[in-house]
Amino acid sequence: MSAVLSPASVSPSATVDADAAPQGLVIRPVAGSAGPLGAEVLGLDLSRPLGREDFARIHRAHLDHHVLVFRDQRITPQQHVDFSRRFGPLQIHVLKNFQLAGHPEILIVSNIKDAAGQPIGLGDAGHYWHSDLSYKDKPSLGSLLHAQELPGEGGDTLFADQHAAYDALPEALKERIAPLRAEHSYLAKYEELRARSPWRPKLTQAQIAEVAPSIHPVVRTHPETGRKALFVSEHFTTRIVGLPEDESQALLAELFAASVRPEFTYRHQWQPHDLVFWDNRSVTHLAAGTPDSERRKLYRTTIEGDLPF
């Protein structure tokens, strides 16, 4: 495993308040998780200045556990954006009509409609397993989702460890996919989702151009830890480059199934004011769904990552 980057080198924007006293945070694995996947961060208030020591512990825990759950974070949208930006530049989602007013970095994830019957956010986000913005040339490093209004039932989010999924593959399959590359497209299932939900608007030509497909390795190497992970998903991965269509689809189906085996997953049951920060280089995720009668609203930021290799 390669050396981990120091927190100061995560991004030029990743400044910390070096003089802030440690808050006494506690990091512990979540109950019911598979292996190292998922950890709670307790005793931390992100509305207060965050010192270098605490930031270093958070950064290390994020690499070790891939999904961090910051409990009871009563923070403003600007504090959400500021904390996210410490890990790198933020990416703006193509559905700009669902931006939070005054905070274009925040995508509203919600099934709520306004008084005129219009959706206030993207209500079917996460319907298929995926890694956020994998269709970009520089896919997301990570996403931070902050609970604003939670349903009385449903609304869970599932995460699948793609390092563990890769490690469990037969050696022959690892050798087969090692040199392969795959196409990722935001449009792969867009029209299918739009046809059955009121949330997704018809894309303009400018928006379509903004989400042109990208080609990435089927197996990517984490730029900070050096670990290998599967980097395909049923939502955005459309084909294996250079393979006949039938062979490509058969191989993708095999990899999709291998990537989300129950022993590699953690199911997050949201609590009020949870802020969940996951590593899109290490996990895929899925929204378990919310009954139509229940209201759900969360705010999401996404951090730009690196060119996968």
- List, for residues 232-268, the tens digit of each pLDDT value: 999 999 999 999 999 999 999 999 999 999 999 999 9
Report how far residue 121's alpha carbon sits from residue 204's, in angstroms, rounded to the nearest whole number.
18
Residue 34 has pLDDT above 90, yes or no: no
Q: Going by C-beta distance under 8 Å and a sequence separation of 6 or more, which residues neighbour residue 199?
A: 111, 119, 121, 122, 123, 124
Give the confidence band of 30 by pLDDT, cuts at 50, 70, 90: very high
Query: H-helix or E-strand containing 109?
Result: strand 103-110
3-state DSSP percent of the chain in helix, strand and coil, to 5: 25, 25, 50
SS3 74: coil
Report how far residue 277's alpha carbon sits from residue 125's, in angstroms, rounded to the nearest whole number.
16
| 91 neighbors 303 (Cβ within 8 angstroms) | yes
For residue 241, CA distances in Å to 158, 222, 246, 253 come to: 29, 21, 12, 15
Q: Once rounded to an integer, what is the mean pLDDT over residues 161-176?
A: 98
Is the full-model pTM beyond 0.85? yes
Q: From the candidates 124, 132, 161, 279, give the one annotated as an active-site residue.
A: 132
Give the confidence band of 2 by pLDDT, cuts at 50, 70, 90: very low
Residue 309 has pLDDT above 50, yes or no: yes
pLDDT tens, position by position, 179-189: 999 999 999 99
Per DSSP, helices labelled H in 133-226 are 162-167, 171-177, 190-195, 205-210
Amino acid at 168: A
Give the confidence band of 11 by pLDDT, cuts at 50, 70, 90: very low
How high is the mean pLDDT of the chain? 92
Residue 281 has pLDDT above 80, yes or no: yes
Give the confidence band of 31 by pLDDT, cuts at 50, 70, 90: confident
DSSP assignment string, 24-47: --EEEEPTT-STT--EEEES--TT
pLDDT tens, position by position, 154-167: 999 999 999 999 99
| 226 neighbors 163 (Cβ within 8 angstroms) | no
Give the confidence band of 125 by pLDDT, cuts at 50, 70, 90: confident
Annotated active-site residue 130? The verdict is yes
Query: H-helix or E-strand containing 145?
Result: strand 140-149
| Predicted pLDDT at 20 | 80
Give the confidence band of 4 by pLDDT, cuts at 50, 70, 90: very low
Annotated active-site residue 279? The verdict is no
Annotated active-site residue 132? The verdict is yes
Residue 18 has pLDDT above 70, yes or no: no
Question: Do the strands 67-70 and 99-100 form a parallel or antiparallel pair, or are they unpaired?
Answer: unpaired
Superfamily of domain 7-304: Clavaminate synthase-like (3.60.130.10)
Residue 14 has pLDDT above 70, yes or no: no
| Predicted pLDDT at 256 | 98
Q: From the candidates 59, 220, 285, 296, give the one annotated as an active-site residue.
A: 285
Annotated active-site residue 59? The verdict is no
Percent of the chain scoring above 90 in pLDDT: 85
**Structure-token match 């050798």, residue found:** 175
Amino acid at 60: R
> What is the CB neighbour count within 10 angstroms for residue 243?
15
Q: From the candidates 62, 130, 163, 268, give the one annotated as an active-site residue.
A: 130
Percent of the chain scoring above 70 in pLDDT: 93
Residue 292 has pLDDT above 90, yes or no: no
Q: Of 3, 1, 55, which Cα lies nearest the Cα of 25?
A: 55
